[in-house]
Amino acid sequence: MLLTKILKYTQNDSLKMIKNVVVGISGGVDSAVTAFLLKIKGFNVTGIFMKNWDIRDETGKCVVEKDYNDAQWICKKLEIPLIQVDFVKEYWNEVFSDIVEKYQNGYTPNPDILCNKNIKFDKFFHIARNKFQADAIATGHYARTSFGSYLENYKAKANVCLLQAQDINKDQTFFLSQVPQKTLRRCMFPLGTYLKSHVKMMAIEAGLCQIAWKKESMGICFIGKRQFQHFISEYIADKPGDYVDLDSGLPIGRHNGIHKRTIGQRCKIAGCFKPYYVFSKDQESNTVVVVGGTTHPALYTDFLMTRDIHWINEEPHELRWGNGILNCNFRFQHRNSLITCRVYKMSTDRLFIRLFVSLRAITMGQYAVLYSGEECLGSSVISYIGPSYFALNRQNYR
């Protein structure tokens, strides 16, 4: 069986102080198997359930309650303690409020990256270290570090690199691209060397059948089963405006708020049988400019600018000491393929990124995540989108 192939962990000299590990238990199979692996490796394991949201949806249900019950069942099965920690206030102030503000201003933020940056690998990390005397924390993310799954290669004065998971289809380094170096040096990602199918097999072999096939949460965690447009209207007032066709310049319908639309999204416009997609949003005029067809050249561009740069390890030497040009790989959405790019350093906190292949619907407010081989270098916020192929071609014909 798969579990029999897991070698018993032996602490080396550099790891004599790493005994107590706090695991973020979400109630899902990934965090459950993470806790199980740590226990059979000989660590003193404590589970923490992070309560980040406490508002019920329109059905009267709060998904947090079901997840907490599952987390209790998991920890009872594994015979490890479980502690619930309330981060509702911190999540509201440092994640959700920022999300609402960005949507109001026409941006499209990434809640998962913000949550990891401000809650899981900041607030959770510090309470684990300071209140529960954890030597390290662990999560069920599919990722690896240069220190190893169990910090077996830990070096006190060395920096750690964030590496892609073995299961590329489940790799979550994109969501960890804003995690600070200080935290990452004390993080364990036991699932980074396994395929998702292996993790489910281990859950079954460990007697965790109840959650082995639990449906994974998808999308933004706090929305639940509601449509995003209905959810966001609870926090941002609807403000109707015009849909304007880019090609004709004419209004072709009405929308009920630019905050409900994202770049590249299909719009259902009354009376229009042709599919239209969002090209841009103008906050001042409250108009949404749309184009006909999902492959319209206005949706494609091959360069962008970013701000608020975060390098996980350190700034690449090509930008720091060389000619200011870095050749690497890029993605701005989790499941997108990596695209070769060239990065130019504009200032201490701004980058210019030229893509070797044009991409559809790059959106301000999202993150440009950079990779070199299997290493995730870090990320920065997309602040400007270059001219589209449509705009460039129109200028050429003038």
Residue 11 pLDDT grade (very low, low, confident, very high; cuts 50, 70, 90): very low
pLDDT at 140 over 70: yes
Look at 28 and 1; give whichever has higher pLDDT: 28
pLDDT of residue 14: 42
Measured distance between the N- and C-terminal CA atoms of the chain, rounded to whole angstroms: 69
Q: How far apart are CA 354 and CA 363, in angstroms?
A: 15
**How far apart (Å, rounded) are the C-alpha atoms in residues 356 and 332?**
14
Quickly count: other Cβ atoms within 10 Å of residue 107's Cβ.
20
Kindly tell me if the per-residue pLDDT of 194 is higher than 60. yes
∠365-102-237 over CA atoms, to 5°? Answer: 145
pLDDT tens digit sequence for 274-313: 899 999 999 889 999 999 999 999 999 999 999 999 999 9
Using 50, 70 and 90 to split pLDDT, how confident is the model at 38? very high
| Residue 129 in this model has a pLDDT that exceeds 50 | yes
* Residue 229: per-residue pLDDT: 62
The per-residue pLDDT for range 106-125, each reduced to its tens digit, is 888 898 999 999 999 999 99
Task: Work out the pLDDT band at 13, boundaries 50, 70, 90.
Answer: very low
Q: Do 10 and 16 form a contact (C-beta atoms < 8 A)?
A: no
Residues 6+ apart with CB under 8 A from 386: 301, 302, 303, 304, 305
Q: What is the pLDDT of residue 398?
A: 42
Percent of the chain with pLDDT over 70: 88
User: Whole-prediction pTM value?
Assistant: 0.90
- Mean model confidence pLDDT for the chain: 88
Predicted confidence (pLDDT) at residue 252 exceeds the cutoff of 80: yes
Q: Where are the beta strands (DSSP E) in 232-311?
A: 241-245, 251-255, 266-267, 276-282, 287-292, 300-311
Using 50, 70 and 90 to split pLDDT, how confident is the model at 4? low
Q: Which residues are catalytic?
A: 115, 221
280 strand-pairing partners: 289
Phi, psi angles (nearest 5°) of residue 117? -65, -45
Digit-coded pLDDT (tens) for 362-392: 999 999 999 999 999 999 999 999 998 887 7
How confident is the model at residue 3, as a pLDDT?
Answer: 59
Q: If pLDDT is split at 50, 70 and 90, which confidence band does 230 have?
A: low
As a whole number of angstroms, the distance between CA 109 and CA 362 comes to 12
